[in-house]
Every structure is written in structure tokens, then in C-alpha cells.
Amino acid sequence: MISRRTGLQLLTGSILSTISISSGAAQSSVDITPEQWMSAWMDAGKDVSGALVLRRFKDPMYILAEPILWKPSVDTREPLPTVEVPKGFVTDLASIPRVFWSLLRPDGEYAYPAIIHDYLYWTQVTTREDADLIFRLAMKDFKIDTVTALTIYKAVRVGGGPSWQADADLKKQGERRVLKLFPQDPRVTWDEWKKEPDVFVE
């Protein structure tokens, strides 16, 4: 049975076989408790704002119940915008194929940065390159271990293009992602709720 770290390294190789990770760039992967995760969030308080409060549909789609915010730190070299994700935004958290869930869960400790990234892909107020960079920097703010963060970042750089285009196409077709009314029945799916009249922010 392979370790989580070894599995992530193999996954990185399968995502982008032409890029290797030098041994000096990888740090040890450490399993953290919820309390340690919250502590990491508090330590990054100058760059993020808003507790992560989610509601879920029957299927694994989530509603942001309170707004969240990320802003670049003062030492960030790139001119990047502050990103505020509004209450009611619907997300699937980290878009990770089910086959890799034993290594990278959609609701892992990178969930907050993943929602920031998901929102940028939906709104497309930045370039895709900047959206992916913000994702990487937000994971750094959350002290996600280097191997995990690099694996996820390389995955979105290589495979994010179709998702970016799919979001653009859905918006052209009239789909919306920010709710003003939340379902009260836990059996409701996202596909069912988005067909209801007058549930979206105008």
C-alpha cells in the first residue's frame, strides 16, 4: 500500500509527465486535525476573510452560506485583484475526479482556495492563468503542503481549459450560480433547484 505522499507524487506525474518535481522543492506531507486547519486559517487572516459556511444539495454541490474573501499579500509580486465570493454562490469545491478521491478529496483543507478558484472560473473577471495563480497563492496562505498544492496547481494548469470554456458556454446559455433562495428540503438536487423560478440573484 502506497503512502499518501507517494500517491500524490505519482498523481503529479500522471497529470504532467514532462515536468518533474525536484527533491528540494517537496516538503513532508502532514495530516492535520480540524483544529490545526482552523489555526492555519487564523494565521492567514490578513489574506482571507470570512468563515467557510456551506450548505449542501443532495448531490455533492454546495452553497456558500456566507461570503468569503481573498486578497493578495503585500509581498505578492504579481498585480492580482482582491476576490470576494458572494453568499449564495454554488460550487462543487475542488473539481477532482472521483478516482483520485482517496488521495485528494474535493472537500480537503484546500476547499476555501478551491471556492475562490471556482468563482474566478465562473465569473472570468481575470485571465485563466491569473485564476490558477490565485488558487496557488491561496493554498500557500492556508499552508497546504507543497506536494499537494503543486499537484493541484499543475492539474488546473494542464486540465482547466475545458472547465473554463464550459463555464463560459453555460453562462451564454443563461445559467446562473448565485442563489438568493436556498432549498429547505435536503433531498433537492442542484439540477432540480436551478430550474425553480426566482431563486437566483438578479
Looking at the structure of the chain, the number of domains it has is 1
Report the pLDDT value the prediction gives residue 98, as an integer from 0 to 100: 53
Identify whether 36 is part of a domain: no
CA angle 108, 99, 187 (to 5 degrees): 65
The answer, yes or no, to whether residue 68 has pLDDT greater than 60, is: yes
Report the pLDDT value the prediction gives residue 77, as an integer from 0 to 100: 74
Report the pLDDT value the prediction gives residue 34, as an integer from 0 to 100: 57
Per-residue pLDDT reduced to its tens digit, 11-66: 455 444 433 333 333 333 445 555 555 545 454 445 777 889 999 999 999 999 99
Average the pLDDT over 145-158 and give the result: 91
Identify whether 86 is part of a domain: yes
State the residue for C-alpha cell 444539495: 57
Strand partners, 83: 70
Look over the chain and give the mean of its residue pLDDT values, rounded to a whole number.
80
Identify whether 25 is part of a domain: no
Identify whether 4 is part of a domain: no
Identify whether 98 is part of a domain: yes
Report the pLDDT value the prediction gives residue 73, as an integer from 0 to 100: 84
Instruction: Identify the domain containing residue 164 by its residue range.
Output: 45-193
Identify whether 109 is part of a domain: yes
Identify whether 168 is part of a domain: yes
Report the pLDDT value the prediction gives residue 133, as an integer from 0 to 100: 95
Identify whether 38 is part of a domain: no
- Residue 75's pLDDT band, with cuts at 50, 70 and 90, is confident
As a whole number of angstroms, the distance between CA 151 and CA 15 comes to 8
